Amino acid sequence: MKRGAGIPNPCNLAGWGVLVTRPAAQAEGLCRLVEAAGGRALCFPTVAIEPVADPGLACEQLSRDWDLMLFVSRNAVAQALSVLPGRRLPAGPQLGAIGAATARALAAAGRAPDLVAFGRSDSESLLALPQLADLTGRRVLIVRGVGGRRLLGDTLIERGARLAYAEVYRRVLPTADMAPLLMHWRREVQLVTVTSGEILDNLLTLAGHRGRDLLFETPLVVVGRRVKKIAEVLGFIRVEAAQGAADAAMLAALCRITEAHRRC
């Protein structure tokens, strides 16, 4: 990639190799910012997004009447559209989104969300919205991938919601061979980015026993304090928490690490 015209460069990454582990379809924006800041973006997805094997249940849930539909990610929006009649969002319920990227995906699909949790892209941010403080008797659907954290759903039930889930995609471990990258790790990779606990787990699985020490000694950028704590417990030496999952927030965290390195 060449440096993009008009893309602000908050720092100079000075040729450092940055491993971007997001799903392939979501990695381009961060890779472009890394390259624009003078780094080398290394795309190595450690999670793949696939439709659920049987979308019938999700389609049935999405077609029912709801007061509020909450989308946890842009993947949730894209995969929900693939099973909705006419690939159109329903007009009746209010829509909620975790994070700016999910909000943009809803807007691109024809309906800007009524409720958006900006800042950190997590359940806690959405739950902090005053509109979700009391949901007594309201019919709420969470549109998400298979499994995931229980915090959002459990809290909404405590607040009185009549809750259900539409699981429209699944996250799987890619069949990627990390061995060639590990052979030249110290030369090629100076920073690693991770945007979820699952991506972190998959990265360690793909690295195997041989690669774990290399990973642990490489500075790591994660999203949020929760994943930062997990990484530190696992054994990562230098972990920087980005202020959200947005590409710009991830780049800012990368910049903080490189600037701290230059001061040493």
Report the chain's mean pLDDT, rounded to a whole number. Answer: 91
DSSP state of 86: G
Q: Are residues 182 and 258 in the same domain?
A: yes
In a domain, 158, yes or no: yes
Q: How far is CA 105 from the centre of its chain?
A: 13
DSSP state of 45: -
What's 127's domain CATH number?
3.40.50.10090
Max CA separation in the chain (angstroms) = 58
Give the model confidence (pLDDT) of 3-22 as tens digits: 444 445 678 999 999 999 99
Q: Are residues 138 and 164 in the same domain?
A: yes
Give the model confidence (pLDDT) of 58-89 as tens digits: 999 999 999 999 999 999 999 999 999 889 99
Cα–Cα distances in angstroms (integers) from residue 27 to residues 10, 18, 22, 41, 241, in the given order: 19, 12, 5, 10, 18
Residue with tokens 């304090």: 225
Across the range 252-258, mean pLDDT stands at 94
- Asked if residue 37 lies in contact with residue 10, where contact means CB atoms within 8 angstroms, the answer is yes
Q: Are residues 99 and 162 in the same domain?
A: yes
| C-alpha count within 13 angstroms, C-beta hemisphere, residue 211 | 18
Q: Are residues 182 and 223 in the same domain?
A: yes
Task: Note the pTM of the prediction, 2 decimals.
Answer: 0.81
Q: Are residues 56 and 131 in the same domain?
A: yes
In a domain, 115, yes or no: yes
Better-scored residue on pLDDT, 50 or 263: 50
- Proportion of the chain above pLDDT 90, given as a percent: 80
Among 147, 172, 197, where does a domain finish? 172
Q: Which domain holds residue 190?
A: 17-47+174-263
Among 115, 138, 172, where does a domain finish? 172
Give the model confidence (pLDDT) of 30-48 as tens digits: 999 999 999 999 999 999 9
